[in-house]
Amino acid sequence: GAVVSQHPSRVICKSGTSVKIECRSLDFQATTMFWYRQFPKKSLMLMATSNEGSKATYEQGVEKDKFLINHASLTLSTLTVTSAHPEDSSFYICSARDRVFNEQFFGPGTRLTVL
Amino acid sequence: LAKTTQPISMDSYEGQEVNITCSHNNIATNDYITWYQQFPSQGPRFIIQGYKTKVTNEVASLFIPADRKSSTLSLPRVSLSDTAVYYCLVGEYSGGGADGLTFGKGTHLIIQP
């Protein structure tokens, strides 16, 4: 089956620093990747849609200058949390859409803790 | 997107059949019903998807009545490892599709020995 990986799986950083999270589709090409955020005991919330070679589309209330998304290839999208603060601590999950079969597959998630 | 309503939590025991019902009164003609499973600190995993009647795979069955205003995920002979949050999603996509997914609150299923 299709596999989506995320790196790192968990990261702890100091307030004010930037953190980059990678999302890779390992055995398929993904023209579209999605980024979600999940706070403890809450559901997943879609943050943005990342399209290969173009600018990401952000959901209402998500700051595009704070959450920088780059989708430079058909197998890689990155989410950079800039000037992270403790309230950005969350579980970040990506999904990738297989462009052939039009199915979405989720990554294992990245736990971000900002001190 | 059609709104979904599920029980917040359910308890059962190993070896039992568990049925989780989801209400989606405003489901549209082109909408599919998809269920995901999520373990703590992991990404969601696709379980099953259907449009009408009954769908069965190696993991679960999905029952959808004729009016499609609700659906029931059936997990046969559950084990402790089935303890997870189960999400019911309704949307105009098959297998996930081109749009980001809207997750509701989900049902926290707890299986006891």
The confidence score (pLDDT) of residue B92 equals: 73
* Phi, psi of A86, rounded to the nearest 5 degrees: -55, -35
Cβ distance of B103 and A95 shorter than 8 Å? no
Q: Is the peptide bond before A8 cis (omega within 30 degrees of 0)?
A: yes
Residue showing tokens 């603060």: A85
Cβ distance of B98 and A32 shorter than 8 Å? yes
Q: Identify all chain A residues contacting B34, using CB atoms and an 8 Å cutoff.
A: none
Cβ distance of B44 and A46 shorter than 8 Å? no
Rounded CA separation B110/A49 (Å): 33
Rounded CA separation B56/B7 (Å): 22
Mean pLDDT within A4-24: 97
Rounded CA separation B56/B47 (Å): 10
Statement: residue A12 has pLDDT above 70:
yes
Q: For residue range A37-65, list pLDDT tens digits in order.
A: 999 989 999 999 998 888 899 999 999 99
Q: For residue range B6-40, list pLDDT tens digits in order.
A: 999 999 999 999 999 999 999 999 889 999 999 99
Residue A112's Cβ-side half-sphere holds a number of Cα atoms within 13 Å equal to 31
Q: Identify all chain A residues contacting B41, using CB atoms and an 8 Å cutoff.
A: 91, 109, 111
Beta strands in B2-106 (DSSP E): 9-13, 18-23, 32-38, 45-50, 53-56, 61-64, 70-75, 84-91
Query: Chain B: nearest CA to A4, how far in angstroms?
Result: 10
The confidence score (pLDDT) of residue B98 equals: 59
CA-atom Rg of chain A in angstroms:
13
A111 and chain B: CB distance < 8 Å anywhere? yes
H or E, element range at B107: strand B107-112
